[in-house]
Each structure stands twice: as C-alpha cells, then as structure tokens.
Amino acid sequence: MKDKIRLELEKLIDPSLKMSLKQSEGIKHIGYDEEHDLVTLIIAIGKKSDQAERSLRMDVTKLIKQTLGHKGLKLEIEENKKIESITKGKCTFIGIASGKGGVGKSTVVVNIANRLMKKGHKVGIIDADIYGSSIPKLLNVPHEFPHYDENQKIAPITYQTMQVISTEFFTNPKEPVIWRGGMLHSMLEHFFYDVAWDKELEYMLIDLPPGTGDVMLDVKSYIPQAKMIIVTTPHLSASHVAIKAGFAALKLDHQILGVIENMSYYKNPINGQRENIFGEGGGLEVSKLLGAELLAQIPIDQPKKHPAIFDIDEDNGKLYDDIADLIIFNEVDYD
Ligand SMILES: Nc1ncnc2c1ncn2[C@@H]1O[C@H](COP(=O)(O)OP(=O)(O)OP(=O)(O)O)[C@@H](O)[C@H]1O
Ligand SMILES: [Mg+2]
C-alpha cells in the first residue's frame, strides 16, 4: 500500500522548486492505518510559503482521497533545509584532521584559507572543533554574536572576504562548552544548513577536532564528498595518531588530498641549519602508510604581521601558497 502511495506521490511537483517530489527527495514519511484507512504523510518542500503549501496540500488531498480513494489524510508540510544547503553546491569541502591535539590543525586551516582567498577564491571556514574552537582567535576577529538575516539564516562572521562560523560566536568566551553528543550533532547540522553561506563559495575548510569520533562520522553523513588533509608533527607519537585519523578517513571513503608535517624543524637563524626539535620522519611515515602525498614540511616559526597568518613574503606563507595551488590545480597525486 505504502509503495503505491509513494509511487504516485513522487510524481507530484514541489511548487517552490518546480521539481517532482522524487527529484527533491521531499517525501519524508508515509504511514498507513489500515483500520481507519488513514494515510499519514510528512512532505518537505524547498521553501515554505502559504501559496506553495496550499497548492501542494490540494494536490496531495486530491491524489490520496479522489484518485487513490482513501478515507482519511493527515498531512504535515515542512521545509526541506537540505535542498538549499551549501553541501549540495559545487563547493569543495576539505576537512583538516590529525587525530592528535596541538599539532597545528587550526593554524593550517586559517593559513590555507587565507592563501586561497588571496588568490581570489571565495572561502569559508567551519570551526568544527566545538570544545576547543580557536579559529576566531587565530583570525583575530572580535567576539560577536552572529545575527539572523531576513531569511532567518545565521549570518556568518567575516574575515576580509572569508566567511567563518564557530561555536565560539554563540557562547560566552569565558565559559567552557560542555555538550553531549546530540547537541554536537545539531550544531554541525546548523552550520551546514542554517548558515547564510555565500552560494558561490568555492572552498570550505573544516577544522576537525582531535580524535576520530562523532564529528568525522557527521562530516561523512552530511558531506560524503569532503576531502581530507592530515596534519602531523615529525614526532612518531603524533604520526602514530595521525595515521589512525587517516585510516578512519579512508574507511569512510574520504579522499586524502595529502599530509602536512607541521613544526617540522627550526631553522637556526645564526647558522641556517635545520634543527629537528620535534624529531623527524612523522610526515613521511603518515604519507607512506596512507598512500598520500606529503604536501609540505612547515618549519617552526611565528608570523610577523598577524597573530596566526603568515604573509606571502614569509617562508611559511610561501609554503601555504604552494599548498593552495595544489588544491586549486588539483595537482595532488592521489595514488
Ligand atoms: N609551524 C609552527 N611553528 C610554531 N608554532 C606553531 C606552528 N604551528 C602551530 N603553532 C602553534 O602551536 C599551537 C597549536 O596550534 P593549533 O592551535 O593550530 O593546533 P591544533 O592542532 O589546532 O590544536 P587543537 O588540537 O588544540 O585544536 C599554537 O600556539 C600555534 O601558534
Ligand atoms: Mg585547533
């Protein structure tokens, strides 16, 4: 019975999108109570308006009662946020993961995002490290609560032309975030579906928290097409954990764009020699085991003109610029 109802419903048109409910994946629930011959439906449409709702309600009622001859109908119409979501567009999503904390993931995120932006691309950042969000601090943007735009979507904070969203904006900076898994999940859902992202966004960088848990699984379910960059330090204790994060990404079928070894060495300013303060070999080890390219070895250094972002005339700025080129021109060796 339900299959027949579904088959017929799929032909109806979502008036807000001008596409069939099959194409829009708008049929959310079909229930049938045989005793009372009652059909219960939840249908999602692209954009709710009185007119669209009225027109769909009429079509559905006609179909269920007249054409299919059922006695009762309970119909709920809701808005299908996912259709308009940034995750459905052409944007390239890149998750920056490491498994281990403190290796420089967030620093890598803001620097790659900055170089992509400087090359004229539209870039967004999702700070998915809910408990330890640091992107606003690294970008040095003031703490402000985002406002809702005219469509009731959350307006992201901007850093130059970059769009940024982080839990940090929604909480008191002096209070820790103590949330359970479910809330974590809904926050990410908000970030993907309820933020007024620029529809032309080309690159979205996602700063993933340490570990290989819930957030990675959520990223998979919302954006299966996301690619990953794995960050490690040269120390084998870091690479050991980064490898696990990499394998988790591969198991979830994410393409690994490459590996970045951060804090690779210190270049002694007096004699110009490399000093392997945090050991060596981690980046190569991760790249070998994951079969992914070692994109860069970034030395220990602090930017001169900004708290976290290197300028193009600094050595690390050039390295990040090369990584941005690799991403843009897709010259990464995927084997
Ligand atoms: N190449 C580098 N040279 C010197 N310091 C660096 C380098 N990369 C990152 N750092 C510093 O290391 C610290 C940790 O960096 P960052 O916050 O980016 O790491 P993370 O992996 O995101 O950490 P967390 O797991 O806590 O989110 C910061 O103080 C940052 O300035
Ligand atoms: Mg971080």
Q: What is the DSSP string of 195-240?
A: B---TT--EEEEEPPSSSSHHHHHHHHH-TT-EEEEEE-SSHHHHH
Residue ranges lining ligand 1, Cβ < 6 Å: 98, 101-107, 129, 132, 134, 210, 262-263, 298, 300-302
Ligand 1: residue of 106, 107, 207 to mutate (most ligand atoms within 8 A of CB) is 107
Pick from 55-59, 75-79, 141-145, 300-304: least confident: 141-145
Rounded to 10 deg, the angle between the 236-251 and 282-290 helix axes is 20
- Looking at the CA of 302, which ligand is closest? 1
Residue 211 CA, ligand 2 centroid: distance in Å: 12
Q: What is the pLDDT of residues 178-202, one digit of tens each?
A: 656 556 667 788 888 889 999 899 9
Cα 100 from Cα 184, distance rounded (Å): 19
Q: Whose CA is nearest to atom 3 of ligand 1?
A: 300
Taking CA atoms, 32 is separated from 28, 41, 70, 75, 328, in Å, by 14, 9, 10, 12, 51
Question: What share of the chain in percent tops pLDDT 70?
Answer: 93
Pick from 94-98, 123-127, 149-153, 249-253: least confident: 149-153
Cα 319 from Cα 249, distance rounded (Å): 24
- The pLDDT score that the predictor gives to residue 185 is 65
| 86: nearest Cα among 124, 30, 42, 33 | 124
Q: What is the pLDDT of residues 283-328, one digit of tens each?
A: 999 999 999 999 999 999 999 999 999 999 999 999 999 999 999 9
3-state secondary structure of 133: coil
User: Who's near 6: CB < 8 A, 6+ residues apart?
Assistant: 27, 30
| 258: nearest Cα among 316, 330, 192, 169 | 330
Domain ranges in the chain? 2-83, 86-329
Q: Whose CA is nearest to atom 15 of ligand 1?
A: 104
Verdict on whether the full-model pTM lies above 0.85: no
Average pLDDT, the chain: 90
Find the mean pLDDT for residues 81-104: 85
- The pLDDT score that the predictor gives to residue 189 is 81
Find the mean pLDDT for residues 140-168: 88
- The pLDDT score that the predictor gives to residue 24 is 86
Write the single-letter amino acid at 144: E
Residue 112 CA, ligand 1 centroid: distance in Å: 14
Cα 115 from Cα 320, distance rounded (Å): 7
CATH number assigned to the domain with residue range 2-83, chosen from the 4 options 3.10.20.600, 3.40.50.150, 1.10.3720.10, 3.30.300.130: 3.30.300.130
Residue 106 CA, ligand 1 centroid: distance in Å: 7
Cα 24 from Cα 38, distance rounded (Å): 25
Class of domain 86-329: alpha beta
- The pLDDT score that the predictor gives to residue 113 is 98
